Amino acid sequence: MIQMSDSFLFFQMPSGESVPFSAEMISVELADGSQDPFSQDFLEHAAASVFHYFKHDLGRKTVSVAEFAEAFESVLNGLGLKLGASRTTGNIDDAANKDLQLLVSHAGDAGELAFFPRLRTAVLAQFQLTPRLVRFRGLRGCVKRLLGAERWSPRCDRLRDQIIEFLQHTLSKETAGRSCALMVE
């Protein structure tokens, strides 16, 4: 049997056939009539990030084309390119902006790849609504859901710290010297 390189991931086609692809072999073309000026280079990097997520973060060897496409779409939506409005929520409502667990559910199967861009959007929305206090709740449940953990672990501690650091950095960048408190429950 021929040994496959570690840089490949098997994509399960709708026909049931599994085809090996590397991140460089994935070609992305948007045909949704979108007016957003996303360059081909940007799309290829986004696809490579989703590929890396499945291959290295999740440790998967096989992924269905539909699953990859859904995660990729979720990432692009999180980065501001709105695709498939019927399948995703176009605007995150005020409650979702405050509840980290709802943000995770909006991120779908893409997990952290889609969660952090959505979190950035929620921080900005919260800052515009209440410029003196930006508040989020559900951090513990959010972390466990992102990691698929049933019990709290050191890995959960690291992701919790990463989320708080991300919130602090995003808010400090956005407030530009103005007084604003961050509360995460």
Q: 65 lies in a domain?
A: yes
* Full domain range(s) for residue 172: 112-185
Residue 19 above 50 pLDDT?
Answer: yes
By DSSP bridging, strand 181-184 and strand 133-136 are parallel
Could you give the number of structural domains in the chain? Answer: 2
Q: Are residues 61 and 125 in the same domain?
A: no
Residue 36 above 70 pLDDT?
Answer: no
Yes or no: say if 93 and 103 are a contact pair by the CB < 8 Å rule. Answer: no
Mean pLDDT, residues 37-66 taken together? 80
Domain end (from 88, 104, 133):
88
Q: Are residues 7 and 77 in the same domain?
A: yes
Q: Are residues 68 and 135 in the same domain?
A: no
Q: Are residues 4 and 66 in the same domain?
A: yes
Q: 144 lies in a domain?
A: yes
pLDDT of 81-139, one tens digit each? 665 543 333 333 344 447 788 788 777 777 788 888 888 888 877 777 667 777 888 89
If one compares 65 and 53, the residue with the highest pLDDT of the two is 53
DSSP the chain: -PPPPTTEEEEEPTTS-EEEEEGGG------S-------HHHHHHHHHHHHHIIIIIS--SEEEHHHHHHHHHHHHHHTT----TTTS-SS--HHHHHBHHHHHHHHGGGTHHHHHHHHHHHHHHHHHH-TTEEEEB-HHHHHHHHHT-SS--HHHHHHHHHHHHHHHHHHHHHHTT---EEEE-
pTM for the complete prediction?
Answer: 0.50
Q: 102 lies in a domain?
A: no
Place of tokens 């007084």: 179
Q: 103 lies in a domain?
A: no
Q: Are residues 84 and 125 in the same domain?
A: no
Yes or no: say if 88 and 114 are a contact pair by the CB < 8 Å rule. Answer: no
Cα–Cα nearest to 84, from 108, 58, 117, 49: 108
Domain end (from 88, 103, 131):
88
Considering the chain, what percentage of its residues have pLDDT values greater than 70? Answer: 76
Yes or no: say if 98 and 46 are a contact pair by the CB < 8 Å rule. Answer: no
- pLDDT band for 15, please (50, 70, 90 cuts): low
- Tell me the two tokens of residue 176: 């530009």
Residue 17 above 60 pLDDT?
Answer: yes
Q: 2 lies in a domain?
A: yes
Q: Are residues 11 and 83 in the same domain?
A: yes
Q: 147 lies in a domain?
A: yes
Q: Are residues 73 and 129 in the same domain?
A: no
Yes or no: say if 11 and 17 are a contact pair by the CB < 8 Å rule. Answer: no
Cα–Cα nearest to 36, from 75, 77, 85, 66: 77
Q: Are residues 29 and 79 in the same domain?
A: yes
Cα–Cα nearest to 118, from 141, 145, 91: 91
Q: 158 lies in a domain?
A: yes
Q: 67 lies in a domain?
A: yes
Instruction: Out of 5-19, 28-42, 123-137, 142-156, give the one with best mean pLDDT.
Output: 142-156
Q: Are residues 7 and 84 in the same domain?
A: yes
